[in-house]
Amino acid sequence: MATHATLLALLTGVAVSLTAAEPKKAPLDLSKLPPAASGPVDFAKDIQPLFAAKCYSCHGAEKQKGGLRLDIKIAALEGGDNGKVFVPGKSAESKLVHAIAGIGEIGIMPPKEKPLTSAEIGKVRAWIDAGAIWPDDGKLAVKKSDHWAYQPVKRPATPSTSPLITNHSPPHSIDAFVHSRLAREKLQPSAEASRPTLIRRLSLDLLGLPPKPEEVRAFVSDTSPNAYEKLVDRLLASPHFGERWARHWLDLARYADSDGYEKDRARPFAYTYRDWVIEAINSDLPFDQFSLQQLAGDLLPNATQAQKVATGFHRQTLTNTEGGTDQEEFRCKAVVDRVSTTATVWLGVTMGCAECHSHKYDPFTQREFYSLFAFFNNANEKAIPAPNAEEKVAYAQAKQAHAAEATKHKAALDAYATTEAPTKLAAWLQTASLAAVPWRSLTPDKLAAKHGTTLKADKEAVITASGALPAKETYTVEAKLPLPRLTGFRLEAIDDPDPKKAVGRAKDGNFVLTKFAVKLFVPGQFDGKELEIARVTADHSQNKFPVEAALKGEDSVGWAVAPQQQKSHVAVFELKSPLDVPEGARLVFTLDQQYKETYLLGQFRLAATDASGPLKPDFTPDTVAAALAAKPEQRTAKQSEALAKYFREQVDEPGRKLHAALDDHAKKAPAAPATTAAVLAEEPGVRKTFTHVRGNFLDKGTEVRAATPAVLHPLKPRAAQPDRLDLAQWLFAPENPLTARVSVNHVWKNLFGRGLVATVDDFGKQGEKPTHPELLDWLASEFPRLGWSRKALIKLIVTSATYKQSSVNRPELQERDPNNLLLARQSRLRLEAETVRDAYLAASGLLNPKIGGPSIRPPLPADIAALGYANSVKWTESKGDEKNRRGLYIFFQRTVPYPMLMTFDAPDSNTTCARRERSNTPLQALTLLNDPVFFECAQQLGARMAEVPTADAAERIRHGFERALARPPSAEELSRLLKLYEAQLKLAQANADGAAKIAGAAKPAPETGEKATLVALGRVMLNLDEFFTRD
Amino acid sequence: MNFRPDLSPSEIAHLTRRDFLASTGMGTLALASLLAEKGYAAPPTDPLAVRAAHVPPRAKNCILIYFEGAPSHIDLFDPKPKLNEMNGQKLPDDMLQKVRFAFIKKEGVRLMGSPRKFTPHGQCGMELSDLLPHIGSIADDLCLVRSMTTTQFNHHPGQLMMNCGSPLFGRPTLGSWLTYGLGNESRDLPAYVVLHAGRGSSAGASAWSSGFLPSTYAGVLFRNQGDPVLNLGNPPGFTPEMQHLGLDAIGDLNRLRHKHVADPEIASRIGAYELAGRMQAATPELMDLSKESQATLDMYGVGRNSRDNPGGRGGGPETYSTFARNCVLARRMVERGVRFVTLLHASWDHHSNINQELPFCAGMADQPIAALVRDLKQRGMLDDTMVIWASEFGRTPLGENRGGSANVTGRDHHPFGFSMWLAGGGIKGGQVIGETDEIGWGVVRDPVSVHDLHATVLNQFGFEHEKLTYRFQGLDFKLTGFEGAKVVGKMLA
């Protein structure tokens, strides 16, 4: 057998492997360091020129690789991403010296140029050893960048070249910018799109829903000069506008309805945040306030429920509850995500890489990343009650109604107590004897617990368990029997008066009594005799844990009381036959509790009786027994009252009923709405913030304070310690060059399919340049002027001729500008995933337009839902027309995302998504052709066509076509559809059973052939590219 | 534009997908610039067109057998006689302090030997457990790695790490990267298919997600019930003839629209609908095993009954035949040009009852997998088809003394050293790479990280792992992360 020492020797590999994940640090060979130079060294003469020649190109004003800057004293002393690079007096330990000597882990510096000579290195060493005297240059490490996006927004003058096409006077500013650019390219803009196209485009862009045929007709025939503007205003005022634009925002917020990792638990109230977004957008909460509340609503003075719910924006991060997970690791990951997401959404900069090292291309150091991290580091995750207005009103009403009803019950009881009860009580007291209340508490004189629990009895004979909490336990209670005859026992499981505790000691307050046994010891007999229990009853047993189980002694079951752990309970055990007991007999009770872990009794009492059965599991308080035992004339007022109460509540039938009615009613008290919201709540000063070396949360670098990146405008905190609210206000400072640009660009992208800066999430050096920089700046200056009104900005854009252009491609444009960067036409855009669904449901008339509330689960094949971890994903189908609600309400289960959404490029909601893909795949075709949801839409469209009062197939086809596409078919299209009609009709008539199925009819009938044909036609119309494209 | 409205759908059906897309002028310019924007200079064609890798590849197709839950390396691949000798002993305290466990309580934990018998197999003499007799028979084709390490010790992050090279959500899988890099060779099947047996896994769809890559590169889940692909079948009542009429009309009407608005996306839409129609026709043929010889089916064990089902995590008795069938289907898919097939099975998470449940799982896996490798080889397909057996980590040499369980009958999560294997696709078979210490805890020779493994796989598919990148949120992402990775030269033939 190996000793510990040999075991250790044997396992030398173990220690290596445990640290294998960390980078190997080669031991420094300090003997290779050139010695420090002798003689005085002057910074300005000897050192600064060296730094300038060898270091500044990477560690100077332009670049700060590794976060290090050597051209300014204050920055150089601070060091780089991994801390200080030199400490005065200690040149042999200096990372700077190691680097220039090429002995450290980063290798030799400068990496590509001629290395420093030994003499030069010696000078640097001598300078450090002499105290690194660096005459104060008085310079702060001010960063500058000449990258366009970091320059202030300057409102450009609107170009004077007259727009090429306009219906405005004076010309629309957007058109002035776009057309002057087109003029330079010698390109013509496109003509205005047709009215049907315009209303369909606007409805889809503003509401995410296609227009109804009657709306199309009304708009087409509206001859007023402001017909278009009226339409825009109507759509902006529609509550569906909030749904459409909320979905855009939810992409950025990485909104989902579940935790993400492993069990991927549902977040049933995630929708409270989603509904906040819809409401905020519908009420046109100005974008600065909209943002501020989401980033720091909890920090606003007297924050309202809604302002707190808004902070749910940053509660959409993923959660891992797998066993053994280091929660600090995932908390840090969530904070990192909050920083990156904030930077992407409001600044259009990619900060993610700065988690591990300073940004390679943009002027953000790792320290600056963690300075932003500090803003979020003390924001704790909390849930607050968040009933919506309806729920609040409903609860108040229910409470009121309940209270009124309770008053009635009380009145009836009071009336009974004062009128009929006294007479009956008097009669009862005449006959009442000890036999009426037969229980005698057993005062234990020995208590024991097998596995260390402390048991103590008080003078009421109540036994309390405390101290150690073993997984399993056996209590033994020994007591004298105070009766000469014995018929049964009573066990009271007593609810602890401490409201935090319950009857049992398990986490959920429950207990499981797996075996109840009693032995009788008679004086003079050596062995005790196990008493045979014939019958056991309890006032309450948990489902599948009946009190009878306590006689069996199986570990997997016993008597338990959930969900009533917060109430006392009683079980009575009746002996097979009455037993006469000689004086001095003793009872030993064994209470076994072997179920799982810690399901132990907390407080209990034992009693015995000699009454004849059947015994009832009720409580007869000892106070009552005492009062009854006392002579009537000696009873105290308290005792008389106790007897009266006991009689009314326990003995007298009508009284018991009245009490039971009152109790039952109390149980029916309306529950407060369970709706909660996940929010951020600041706990200042709880955590300090350090950089994480290479992004590893366990490897703490230098401490940092909350601060904003130096390349941007200064932060103006309200107090010494800046907080999230300061950060949010900093984002909307007038001198911020990014937020307004980035925000108008998001809106522009949603209306043109592409941002003026195509990389909407990256305005940095790696991103694309704006196609129309002046227009971008003009809009960025206009947005605050419009009071950050989203609706006003959208109205401004959609009323431009640029937006209203036809999207028809032109050969010269296809050649010169295939991506439509110059905006000589509108773009055709495949609808987003949710909008595809919404368009189907709307065109077929199936759409349930209800807004807000819990997320829905449309039908999903069982095997798809079962792919989550160990059946932990419960996909309970929504019933009735709930399943026909808009796509944004579909429950987003991160590990089992609804397949249709993913097939159409909905974001996976794991990180912020500023730009969706628009793919074009055969799986999309299969979904639209065959998914039961979409086929049902086709059936409905077919049914609408079948309803048209006509015998003319062409008329029916025109009706369906217009419903689907908001325009009549061309002659060619109509003739192709008629051809299909005839061919399908032939097939349908030849296959009556199939036709009935297609038509959704119970059985074949003469008209099912045509109905099925119309369904098939509806299916074709709804599968046309045009149907799920915004033209 | 060289759009050809003159072609009828049936004529189009006779063209290859590539020709078809070219003939419809499928927005070549637009796509080229789209791809250039993504930092990947792909030839100007559709996103799934076959593309050349950086260098001529050794492997063309990949079958990834992924066993979620972490099979015990000590009981399957890595014999540890010393551990058996030390059964029941403690681990020194200072070692225990340094590690984190998912469920093990450090107090009182003991080493646990393996009851398995290991014997040498093949000419190479590879030692394998008595639970893998069939896999032993293909030992000379296997490159067994006994020195894998990962940075993750929880399942879901571990699964993401092994599949996507990062423990975080939202990254593309190996299959997505290869599909993105190489395109699809099949005209009428998806490029990347996922087959599943048993119950669900903690990764769910994130095990085949395309992450930030377009969803075109996501795995397509084939189902064991209903339509093999979700929504593959026509709605009730629709005959293939009716479907054909409908697809024809959709194509014609889309062409009319295209004539009017001249949007290249419409041409691509027409292509997608044509392909959908072909998938409807081709998939039943793919799924139909009736043309396979009885000898082949028997070799894989299709239709065989499970042994006694211990009623554990590994699934019901039907799991045996489902998994065997999936192995045959994987070969059929590769034959038809599918680029990447993932065979999933959960769960091998044997925290308890390991001596009953591991034999069940191994019994399910052993025969069909050996048959798959042998079948590929005899058909000459193993040269360019890589087969990988992988999971997220291994299991502890310590017995798991989780609270609440009286007996120690399982092992906990173990990321510091574990085993996996590869075969085919230019991987050198008949060899063992690396070594763990005498109790199977840490790696003492040739450690292979997950990123090293991925770099090696990409290498065989013709990619320099540093160069297969995708720009997302301003960063050039790659499968092998930012920490550095190396191709494991010893693995290569």
Query: In angstroms, rounded to a whole number, what is the distance separating the alpha carbons of residues A214 and A208?
Result: 18
Are the Cβ atoms of A759 and B474 closer than 8 angstroms?
A: yes
Preceding peptide of A110 cis, ω within 30°: yes
Residue numbers in A near B395 (CB within 8 A): none
CB burial string A952-982: b at 16+ within 10 A, e below? ebeebbbbbbbbbbbbebeeebbebbeebbe
Residue B359: inside a domain, yes or no? yes
Are the Cβ atoms of B273 and A996 closer than 8 angstroms?
A: no
**B433 in Cβ contact with B146 (< 8 Å):** yes
CATH of the domain at B191: 3.40.720.10
pLDDT in tens, A791-802: 999 999 999 999
Start-to-end C-alpha separation, chain A: 81
Residue B14: inside a domain, yes or no? no
Preceding peptide of A614 cis, ω within 30°: yes
Report residue A652 CA to chain centroid gap. 54
Residue B296: inside a domain, yes or no? yes
Residue in chain B lying closest to A973 (CA): B253
Helical packing angle, A389-418 and A421-431, nearest 10°: 60
**Residues listed for chain B:** 493
Residue in chain B lying closest to A921 (CA): B272
Preferred mutation among A469, A759, A820, A923 to probe B, highest tally of B CBs within 10 A? A923
**Going by C-beta distance under 8 Å and a sequence separation of 6 or more, which residues neighbour residue B176?**
B192, B208, B209, B210, B211, B213, B217, B218, B219
Residue numbers in A near B98 (CB within 8 A): 15, 18
| DSSP H or E run through A42 | none
pLDDT in tens, A589-610: 999 999 988 999 999 999 998 8
Residue B271: inside a domain, yes or no? no
Domains identified in chain B, total number: 1
Q: Does B186 touch chain A (CB under 8 A)?
A: no
Query: In angstroms, rounded to a whole number, what is the distance separating the alpha carbons of residues B488 and B446?
Result: 9
> A706 burial class (0-12, 13-18, 19+ CB within 10 angstroms)?
buried
Residue B203: inside a domain, yes or no? yes
Provide the domain limits for residue B394. 60-232+283-491
Q: Does B8 touch chain A (CB under 8 A)?
A: no
Residue B54: inside a domain, yes or no? no
> B308 burial class (0-12, 13-18, 19+ CB within 10 angstroms)?
exposed
Residue A573: strand pairing partners: A489, A536
Per-residue pLDDT tens digits of chain B, which is 493 residues long:
233 333 333 333 333 333 333 333 333 333 333 333 333 333 334 777 888 888 889 999 999 999 999 999 999 999 999 999 999 988 877 777 777 777 787 778 899 999 999 999 999 999 999 999 999 999 999 999 999 999 988 888 899 999 999 988 889 999 999 999 999 888 889 999 999 888 777 778 889 988 888 778 889 889 877 889 999 999 999 999 999 999 999 999 999 999 999 888 898 889 889 989 999 999 999 999 999 999 999 999 998 877 666 666 777 778 898 999 999 999 999 999 999 999 999 889 998 889 989 999 999 999 999 999 999 999 999 999 999 999 999 999 999 887 655 678 899 999 999 999 999 999 999 999 999 999 999 999 999 999 999 999 999 999 999 999 998 777 789 999 988 899 999 999 9
Residue numbers in B near A828 (CB within 8 A): 261, 263, 265
Enumerate the domain spans of chain A.
30-142, 286-318+325-339+353-388+675-736, 438-506+527-619, 932-1030
Preferred mutation among B45, B147, B154, B256 to probe A, highest tally of A CBs within 10 A? B154
φ, ψ (nearest 5 deg) of residue A348: 60, 30
pLDDT in tens, A928-946: 999 999 999 999 999 999 9
Chain A contacts in chain B segment 400-459 (CB below 8 A): 403-404, 413, 416-417, 436-439, 441-444, 447
**What's domain A438-506+527-619's architecture?**
Sandwich (2.60)
Residue B160: inside a domain, yes or no? yes
> A182 burial class (0-12, 13-18, 19+ CB within 10 angstroms)?
buried
Number of H helices, E strands in chain A: 37, 18
| Least confident residue range of A400-414, A615-629, B286-300 | A615-629
Are the Cβ atoms of B474 and A349 closer than 8 angstroms?
A: yes
φ, ψ (nearest 5 deg) of residue B132: -125, 55
